[in-house]
Structure 1
Amino acid sequence: MVERRPLLDLLAHAVLILGVVIVAFPVWVAIVASTHPAEAFQTGRIPLWFGDAAVANYSLMLGGGLSNMGAPPLAGMMWNSLAMAMIIALGKIAISITSAFAIVYFRFPFRMFAFWCIFITLMLPVEVRILPTFKVVADLGMLNSYAGLTIPLIASATATFLFRQVFLTIPDELLEAARIDGAGPFRFFRDMLIPLSRTNIAALFVILFIYGWNQYLWPLLITTDEGYYTIVAGIKRMAEAVDANPIWNYVMAAAVLAMLPPVVVVILMQRVFVKGLIETEK
């Protein structure tokens, strides 16, 4: 039995509240700033309470009115971010689950060497290999394209490792039973492994969707056409598009709108996300 100590409980709650305040304060500032008119920022101070221009600001952003002022269209950037996040998430899952299946259930020369070659790429994030990756993408003519936005980010050593660990927990008797029933490798993969891994797939989808949605450096580097701007990289361009005028209220409104899709995904998939992270029994 754990002994209850009021002082330690008070300290733990104080630390949690402090952490929530630190994390939530920038979000609060963005939401509040998006409800004020542009004139509220001319003094150089950011208001900390709501204004009366929320409807006008968000109507202008969602209606594309800021495009007339030289800023990229918000709807197009949101769509590009959604497409990029979905392609990256689904592509990473598809490649990772099939590669993990091959590593665990097939015996071929240098099988573990191939796995460790995949795993060691964890030490090479996009920022480290960005120059050679950009050169390859440029030589292949994939600048300003969905292929250029997604293909260099579509492989995932982390997801491969996680699916490998999941497959290693599945009893060998299940594979033997499938063989006795006459199931081939593809049928075993489709009818057995994928259903048993669906919670892990859902958890990874949430993580990878947010990873793809929040990409900043790579889209900023390879896109010069407004038709392929993503929302995260586009917010920077939006702030610079009409830098003669203080439009921080619109920039903050765009930032708030950019937060909504990941929040919706996490809320809708919260239960299966947590289950996929903690589930160990098959």
Structure 2
Amino acid sequence: MVEDEGIRRYVAHFILWIGIAIVAFPVYIAIVASTQDNALIANGQMSLLPGGHFFEVYYQTIFVGTSGSTREPVGNMMLNSLVMALAIAIGKIAISIISAYAIVYFRFPFRMPIFWIIFITLMLPVEVRIYPTYKIVADLHMLDSYAGLSLPLIASATATLLFRQFFMTVPDELLEASRIDGAGPLRFFWDTLLPLSRTNMAALFVILFILGWNQYLWPLLITTRDDMQTIQVGIRKMITTTDALTEWPIVMATAVLAMLPPVFVVVAMQRLFVRGLVETEK
């Protein structure tokens, strides 16, 4: 039995390493390509070993930009994407947790119909409501602005549902104890529910940050100036119709840089993220 368990463990590890290699190989190719000469890549003669243009390519990518259809430095694109992703993640969590708190702990007319209306919006992705949303943003003169990039994407029925389900598992004794201590609704929310929701907010923050960072269609529609475009839109604009004119080392360096913030967020908040997904004790 012990030998069988050891064999199964080695087989499982071997399969996992194969999966890691499949996922990591394209990332390795992007890193290697970002250090190569553009002529070698365009001619299909790229080496699988890193080249000698690392500092040159990444300096030009971050601070100078390309000579293609977008000349904006990638550093500015990353700043735009970062502001957008943070605004979406923090805004979604703030609005959702307040909405869930009101639905669970307050008794007002049409409370449950309002919740189900919020829940039904899960069936309406951005692509379905993109024209009326664009019309409203344009009428409010929010094109080419951080508000236009983030505000239309802040509402989240998913986060509201998750917070509502979490609040329904909080013991009623905590609410009664807060009332006995003279705490009002805001005090109960701030001192009791928010600390209990810390891991849930962390897990949602990771998911929502990556969601905001990877947005492509909405930033493509809402931005017309190069200085307001996000890194996802910038990558697409760097690729021209003719491969010979595309600066592939800069494109690959931009792709590598686009992966860093989500990876950093996941690694930095890994423990809270896992606890927020699996924790059951309140």
Q: Same fold (TM over 0.5)?
A: yes
Q: Deviations over 1:71-110 (max 9, x none)?
A: 2221211110110011101100000000000011011122
Counterpart AA for 1:233: V
CA distance in 2, matches of 1:90, 1:238: 30
Paired residues of 1:142 and 1:148 also in contact (CA < 8 A): yes
**Match for residue 71 of structure 2?**
71
Secondary structure of 2:193's match? helix
Which residues in structure 2 correspond to 1:147-226 (within 5 Å)? 147-226=147-226
Measure how far apart 1:69 and its partner are: 8.7
Which residues in structure 2 correspond to 1:200-279 (within 5 Å)? 200-240=200-240, 245-279=245-279
Paired residues of 2:72 and 2:226 also in contact (CA < 8 A): yes
**Match for residue 132 of structure 2?**
132
CA distance in 1, matches of 2:69, 2:149: 27
The CA RMSD over aligned residues, in Å, is: 2.3
**Match for residue 281 of structure 1?**
281
Q: Deviations over 1:207-254 (max 9, x none)?
A: 111111111111011111112111111111122399762301101001
CA distance in 2, matches of 1:3, 1:121: 53
Tell me the matched-pair count: 282
Secondary structure of 1:126's match? coil
Paired residues of 1:71 and 1:237 also in contact (CA < 8 A): no
Secondary structure of 2:245's match? coil
CA distance in 1, matches of 2:5, 2:45: 43
CA distance in 1, matches of 2:137, 2:47: 43
Q: State yes or no: 1:122 paired with 2:115.
A: no
Measure how far apart 1:2 and its partner are: 9.7
Which residues in structure 2 correspond to 1:6-155 (within 5 Å)? 8-44=8-44, 46-64=46-64, 66=66, 71-155=71-155
Paired residues of 1:39 and 1:246 also in contact (CA < 8 A): no
Structure 1: gaps spanning 5 or more residues: none
Structure 2: gaps spanning 5 or more residues: none
| Greater CA drift, 91-100 or 238-247 | 238-247
| Greater CA drift, 43-52 or 229-238 | 43-52
CA distance in 2, matches of 1:150, 1:24: 31
CA distance in 2, matches of 1:69, 1:138: 24
Measure how far apart 1:157 and its partner are: 0.8
CA distance in 1, matches of 2:45, 2:112: 58
Paired residues of 2:69 and 2:240 also in contact (CA < 8 A): no
Paired residues of 2:71 and 2:226 also in contact (CA < 8 A): no
CA distance in 2, matches of 1:241, 1:41: 16
CA distance in 1, matches of 2:152, 2:177: 39
Counterpart AA for 1:85: A
**Counterparts in 2 of 1:160 and 1:69: CA distance versus 1, 3 Å:** closer
Counterpart AA for 2:202: A
| Greater CA drift, 7-16 or 47-56 | 7-16
Q: Give the TM-score of the pair, scaled to structure 1.
A: 0.92
Q: Give the TM-score of the pair, scaled to structure 2.
A: 0.92
Measure how far apart 1:5 and its partner are: 4.2
**Counterparts in 2 of 1:3 and 1:102: CA distance versus 1, 3 Å:** farther
Paired residues of 1:133 and 1:152 also in contact (CA < 8 A): yes
CA distance in 2, matches of 1:95, 1:69: 38
Counterpart AA for 1:217: L
CA distance in 1, matches of 2:16, 2:126: 33
**Aligned-residue identity in percent:** 63
Secondary structure of 2:240's match? helix
CA distance in 2, matches of 1:243, 1:237: 13
